[in-house]
Chain A
Amino acid sequence: MYKILEKKVMSETVKLMKIKAPLVAKKAVAGQFIILRIDEKGERIPLTIADYDRKEGTITVIFMEVGKTTKQLGTLNVEDSLLNFAGPLGQPSEIEKYGTVVCIGGGVGIAPLYPIVKELKQAGNYIISILGARNEKLLMLEKEIEGLSNELHICTDDGSKGQKGFVSDVLQKLIDDKTKINIVWAIGPVIMMKVVANLTKKYDIKTIVSLNPIMVDGTGMCGGCRVSVGGENKFACVDGPEFDGHLVDFDNLMLRNRRFICEEEESCKLAGV
């Protein structure tokens, strides 16, 4: 059993949990994820690691309540436990000194971006962060990322905070202003990552995206998470979750992520969440 040590409500639908999992914390690095299962009848769901503390033996996850399992998870409290918590899974982010790195986080995608920004900063990069969300309430970790960034840009769809518009608008402006960008990290909704990757492709700026397909085992066994990358099928769980954004077939990913939408609704309705 894996105990919840801390819970924070980030916004109406986004929650943070710090979970005791010393072995996972010992190995975790930026870019990786965990698979958890709440109880005996539960689903295995992947969540990207938002932070880790090796000394404390904890992993922090930040999740948006989108389906039955994340909604149920959101109802748990400090001292409650999860039945299963396996990881760290997937390949770590390739952290090195690139020069200037633009780190783009959209919505709940800001959470997994945070440890990456941290490690990129430690590696001596110049960090330009762009954080975006639908509105001010859905923005998160702004302070934390600001502290690590040389420049921070905020944008919201409705203009309730920062610039009104999308992260790609800010990125376009940076490019137009002749900012020298060595690499871009973009994590957020699939459509955001697609738009960013399409933009940077035009300017030949390498772009890393972190994908979140449906998974079952998370260890390379089922292939449910397969994504087409450069025309070749890759498993996000073992080959990713980070890939070269210019090679990813985002449309197929979006299609595959809708596979169980009806079942998800049925499940939520039945559970009353």
Chain B
Amino acid sequence: MAVRKTKHEMPEQKPKDRIKNFNEVPYGYDTKTAIEEAKRCLQCKNRPCVDGCPVEIDIPDFIKQIAEGNIDEAVKVLKTKTSLPAVCGRVCPYENQCEGECTLLKIGEPVAIGRLERFLADYERKKGVKIPKKAKLTGKKVAVVGAGPAGLTCAGDLAKMGHGVTVFEALHAPGGVLMYGIPEFRLPKKIVNSEVDYIKKLGAEVRYDMVVGKTITVDELFEDYDAVFIGTGAGLPRWLRIPGENLDGVYSANEFLTRVNMMGAYRFPEYDTPVKIGKVVATFGAGNVAMDCARTSLRLGAEKAYIIYRRSEKEMPARNEEIHHAEEEGVIFKLLTTPVKFYGDEKGILKEVECLKMKLGEPDESGRRRPVPIEGSNFKIKIDTALVAIGQSPNPLIPQTVKGLKMGKWGNIDTDEDGRTSILGLFAGGDIATGAATVILAMGAGKRAARVIDKYLKSKK
């Protein structure tokens, strides 16, 4: 029988319905569809998909189990390499990773590895998550700073190895960007919470309101812990640096999303934190965060949501799925357009943005063609809210408060491939080391760091 060339569709909420709620967009596969999709896998000997996975999941093995109907066994295979499958199964850029390496691409669409991963994670959660047998306690203690994807992965793996782990989180909730950044309709918060519960059940403790660098220093952590892992992410918003950016109505993507997601502003006034956006919202940037901003603003009642991006469609850094969903929901893409100035009324409330048309020139250092302004092409758009989603830089708090820590060029902590910093016993990974990247790369870094921390602890008698 010939292999089906396309992925099995994943049912999802219709665009006209979903822009009125914050519920998750896709519903996920049922068991029957998952088995059918799993049967598309060719079980290649050279396993190219595994090479594409930053956390080295044994992809063909769990797919084989699904295809044979052994769902529980498939879950077990999946969970040996990842503690956060429900998250990865939703937010990973599969097309550039596992699915991007799939042999089926030669004849059509790859196996829907992401959807299968999500299916397994959801299946397990509904059934009740089993806690694996813990390794014998080693008596060693590790402090993990930041409860985001890197920190949680590192903490989960270290706990499985039998080390005592305490996660120090600055905010009042776990998850880092999974909680404050990624919206409910893309990653429901109850899923993040249940993944964190799993890590706690593995034995890790999570302490909130712990702003490391302020409440307690890294040096102090070393008094009580044998090793420290820093996974504080890239939380520092970047700005357009154009006139009018401080008007009432201009938010960083971080402020906007934190208000809505972590503080529950979409349920104001039931929740105390407000957000106000008016009728027309312009989001600047075209990454996943920008798509999240534009789609969130529609759900908050915006009549028009623009994505304004200085390059062309091809260069948009967001995942295909996010762009596709945004288009379906009616987000208006103004490409090859760059803002030059915000205008407000006499009260300082944002009213308009002036933009310039761009054209693509020669490739720049990122390999993408550099956008060049077209002189005299200025035009204005009336907007009520501007959301600046042009990237984040590493959080400066820890680097500023650890003496002798070697830093990289962009305010990141300098590490080797496995997360060793210039200080013995101090490790780092995720966006704080690499600069803003993806959830899965942060998880991969947390995983590798856990391995070298384990080695370090064993060598240290």
**Is B truly associated with A?**
yes
Say if the beta carbon of B3 comes within 8 Å of chain A: no
Minimum distance in angstroms from A70 CB to a CB of chain B: 11
Q: Is the CB of A41 within 8 A of B272?
A: yes
User: Using Cβ atoms and an 8 Å threshold, which residues of chain A touch B247?
Assistant: 255
Say if the beta carbon of B246 comes within 8 Å of chain A: yes
Told that A86-B170, A86-B172 touch, could you supply 19 new A-B pairs with CB distance under 8 A? A27-B214, A27-B216, A37-B172, A43-B272, A44-B172, A44-B263, A86-B209, A86-B211, A87-B211, A217-B171, A219-B171, A220-B395, A220-B396, A224-B252, A255-B248, A260-B276, A263-B268, A263-B269, A263-B274
7 pairs, A vs B, C-beta closer than 8 Å: A24-B215, A27-B215, A27-B216, A217-B258, A221-B237, A222-B254, A238-B397
Across the interface, name the chain A residue whose C-beta is closest to B172: A84
Minimum distance in angstroms from B187 CB to a CB of chain A: 18
Q: Chain B interface residue count: which class?
A: 35 or more
Q: Please, how many angstroms separate the alpha-carbon atoms of A87 and B268 in the complex?
A: 26
Contact stretch, chosen from A48-56, A191-199, A264-272: A264-272
Question: What 7 A-B pairs are tightest by C-beta distance, nearest first?
Answer: A263-B274, A222-B255, A255-B348, A43-B272, A86-B209, A221-B235, A223-B252
User: Using Cβ atoms and an 8 Å threshold, which residues of chain A touch B259?
Assistant: 216, 222
Known: A86-B211, A223-B254, A258-B248. A216 touches B237 (CB 8 A): no
Q: Is the CB of A260 within 8 A of B208?
A: no
Across the interface, name the chain B residue whose C-beta is closest to A85: B209
Across the interface, name the chain B residue whose C-beta is closest to A41: B271
Known: A27-B215, A68-B272, A88-B214. A219 touches B254 (CB 8 A): no
Q: Is the CB of A221 within 8 A of B272?
A: no
Chain B positions 268-323 with a Cβ under 8 Å from a chain A Cβ: 268-274, 276
Q: Is the CB of B263 within 8 A of A228?
A: no
Minimum distance in angstroms from B206 CB to a CB of chain A: 14
Minimum distance in angstroms from A197 CB to a CB of chain B: 18
Known: A84-B209, A223-B237. A260 touches B214 (CB 8 A): no
Minimum distance in angstroms from A31 CB to a CB of chain B: 13
Known: A233-B239, A263-B268. A221 touches B211 (CB 8 A): no
Q: Please, how many angstroms separate the alpha-carbon atoms of A261 and B215 in the complex?
A: 32
Q: Chain A interface residue count: which class?
A: 35 or more
User: Using Cβ atoms and an 8 Å threshold, which residues of chain A touch B402?
Assistant: none
Known: A255-B248, A256-B248. A264 touches B255 (CB 8 A): no
User: Using Cβ atoms and an 8 Å threshold, which residues of chain A touch B268?
Assistant: 263, 267
Q: Which of A27, A252, A262, A267 contacts B246 (CB 8 A)?
A: A252
Say if the beta carbon of A64 comes within 8 Å of chain B: no
Q: Please, how many angstroms separate the alpha-carbon atoms of A24 and B347 in the complex?
A: 39
Q: Is the CB of A23 within 8 A of B263?
A: no
Minimum distance in angstroms from B248 CB to a CB of chain A: 5
Minimum distance in angstroms from A202 CB to a CB of chain B: 26
Q: Contact mask B245-257 → A, CB, 8 Å, 1/0? A: 1111001101100
Q: Please, how many angstroms separate the alpha-carbon atoms of A41 and B263 in the complex?
A: 8
Across the interface, name the chain B residue whose C-beta is closest to A268: B269
Known: A223-B252, A259-B248. A41 touches B397 (CB 8 A): no
Q: Contact mask A76-106 → B, CB, 8 Å, 1/0? A: 0000000111111100000000000000000
Q: Which of B209, B236, B239, B270 contacts A220 (CB 8 A)?
A: B236
Q: Is the CB of A87 within 8 A of B172?
A: no
Say if the beta carbon of B149 comes within 8 Å of chain A: no
Q: Please, how many angstroms separate the alpha-carbon atoms of A242 and B212 in the complex?
A: 21
Q: Which of B272, B276, B348 contacts A267 (CB 8 A)?
A: B272
Q: Please, how many angstroms separate the alpha-carbon atoms of A252 and B269 in the complex?
A: 27
Residues of A within 8 A of B (CB): 23-24, 27, 37, 41-44, 68-69, 83-89, 216-217, 219-224, 226, 228, 233, 238, 249, 252, 255-256, 258-260, 262-264, 266-267, 270
User: Using Cβ atoms and an 8 Å threshold, which residues of chain A touch B237?
Assistant: 221-223
Q: Please, how many angstroms separate the alpha-carbon atoms of A69 and B209 in the complex?
A: 19
Q: Most chain-B CB neighbours within 10 Å: which of A226, A249, A252, A264?
A: A226
Chain B at the A interface: SS class: loop
Q: Is the CB of A222 within 8 A of B258?
A: yes
Across the interface, name the chain A residue whose C-beta is closest to B209: A86
Minimum distance in angstroms from B345 CB to a CB of chain A: 11
Q: Which of A89, A216, A238, A263 contacts B276 (CB 8 A)?
A: A263
Minimum distance in angstroms from B386 CB to a CB of chain A: 13
Q: Is the CB of A216 within 8 A of B211?
A: no
Say if the beta carbon of B203 comes within 8 Å of chain A: no
Q: Contact mask B172-213 → A, CB, 8 Å, 1/0? A: 100000001000000000000000000000000000111100
Q: Which of A42, A89, A256, A262 contacts B211 (CB 8 A)?
A: A89
Say if the beta carbon of B419 comes within 8 Å of chain A: no
User: Using Cβ atoms and an 8 Å threshold, which residues of chain A touch B236?
Assistant: 220-221
Q: Is the CB of B246 within 8 A of A256?
A: yes
Minimum distance in angstroms from A255 CB to a CB of chain B: 4
Minimum distance in angstroms from B188 CB to a CB of chain A: 17
Q: Please, how many angstroms separate the alpha-carbon atoms of A87 and B172 in the complex?
A: 12
Across the interface, name the chain B residue whose C-beta is closest to A255: B348
Q: Is the CB of A223 within 8 A of B272?
A: no
Q: Please, how many angstroms separate the alpha-carbon atoms of A224 and B268 in the complex?
A: 18
User: Using Cβ atoms and an 8 Å threshold, which residues of chain A touch B446?
Assistant: none
Say if the beta carbon of B429 comes within 8 Å of chain A: no
User: Using Cβ atoms and an 8 Å threshold, which residues of chain B touch A220?
Assistant: 235-236, 395-397
Across the interface, name the chain B residue whose C-beta is closest to A35: B209
Say if the beta carbon of B371 comes within 8 Å of chain A: no
Known: A216-B273, A223-B252. A41 touches B216 (CB 8 A): no
Say if the beta carbon of B164 comes within 8 Å of chain A: no
Q: Is the CB of A219 within 8 A of B170?
A: yes
Q: Is the CB of B252 within 8 A of A270?
A: no
Q: Most chain-B CB neighbours within 10 Å: which of A216, A266, A267?
A: A216
Q: Please, how many angstroms separate the alpha-carbon atoms of A84 and B210 in the complex?
A: 10
Say if the beta carbon of B60 comes within 8 Å of chain A: no
Q: Is the CB of B252 within 8 A of A41?
A: no
Minimum distance in angstroms from B137 CB to a CB of chain A: 26
Minimum distance in angstroms from B261 CB to a CB of chain A: 11
Q: Which of B263, B264, B272, B347 contacts A255 (CB 8 A)?
A: B347
Minimum distance in angstroms from B241 CB to a CB of chain A: 9
Q: Please, how many angstroms separate the alpha-carbon atoms of A219 and B169 in the complex?
A: 11
Chain B positions 395-418 with a Cβ under 8 Å from a chain A Cβ: 395-397
